[in-house]
Structure 1
Amino acid sequence: MTIIARKSGSKRLLGAMTALALCLGLSACSGNSDGGGHSGDTMQGVSASGKPGSKPDISFKTPFKVENQTHQVIQEGNGEVIRDGDRVCTRSLALDAKTGKVINSTWDKSSPECSIVISRKSIPAYYDTFKGLKVNSTVAVGIDESGSGSSQATDSYIMALTFVSRSKNLTRAQGQKVTDLPSDLPRISLDDKGKPSLDLNGYKPKGGLVVQPLIKGEGAKVGEHQSVSANYTGWLASDGKQFDSSWDRGEASDFSLDQVVKGWQQGLAGQTVGSQVLLVIPPDLGYGSQQQQKIPANSTLIFVVDILAAY
Structure 2
Amino acid sequence: MYFDTELLEIVPRPITPPDVAAPPADATTTASGLAYKVLRPGRGDKHPSRASKVAVHYSGWTTNGRMFDSSVLRGTPSEFPLDEVIKGWTEGLQLMTVGEKTRFWIPAKLAYPHDRTKPQGMLVFDIELISIK
For the superposition of Structure 1 and Structure 2, which TM-score range results when normalised by the shorter chain? Answer: 0.7 to 0.9
Q: Is the 8 A contact 2:20 2:124 kept in 1?
A: no
Aligned to 2:86: 261
Q: Normalization by structure 1: what TM-score?
A: 0.34
RCO comparison, higher one (Cα < 8 Å, 6+): 2
Alignment of 1:29-48 (within 5 A): none
Q: Normalization by structure 2: what TM-score?
A: 0.76
Correspondence 1:204 to 2:19 = no
1:202 & 1:228 partners in 2: Cα distance?
Answer: 25
Alignment of 1:81-92 (within 5 A): none
Instruction: List gaps (5 residues or longer) in structure 2.
Output: 1-10, 24-28
Q: How many residues align?
A: 115
Report the residue type matching 1:270 in the other structure: L
Alignment of 1:233-272 (within 5 A): 233-237=59-63, 239-272=64-97
Q: Percent identity?
A: 32
Quote the offset at 1:213 in angstroms. Answer: 1.2
Structure number with bigger Rg: 1
Instruction: Report the secondary structure of 1:284's partner residue.
Output: helix
1:218 & 1:194 partners in 2: Cα distance?
Answer: 26
Q: Quick one: structure 1 residues 195 and 225, their matched pair in 2 at CA, closer, same or farther if it must change by over 3 Å?
A: farther
Quote the offset at 1:197 in angstroms. Answer: 1.6
Quote the offset at 1:194 in angstroms. Answer: 8.8
Q: Is the 8 A contact 1:223 1:270 kept in 2?
A: no
1:278 & 1:217 partners in 2: Cα distance?
Answer: 13
Aligned to 2:57: 231
2:34 & 2:62 partners in 1: Cα distance?
Answer: 14
Report the residue type matching 1:280 in the other structure: W
Instruction: List gaps (5 residues or longer) in structure 1.
Output: 1-192
1:308 & 1:202 partners in 2: Cα distance?
Answer: 23
Instruction: Report the secondary structure of 1:217's partner residue.
Output: coil
1:274 & 1:268 partners in 2: Cα distance?
Answer: 12
Report the residue type matching 1:232 in the other structure: Y
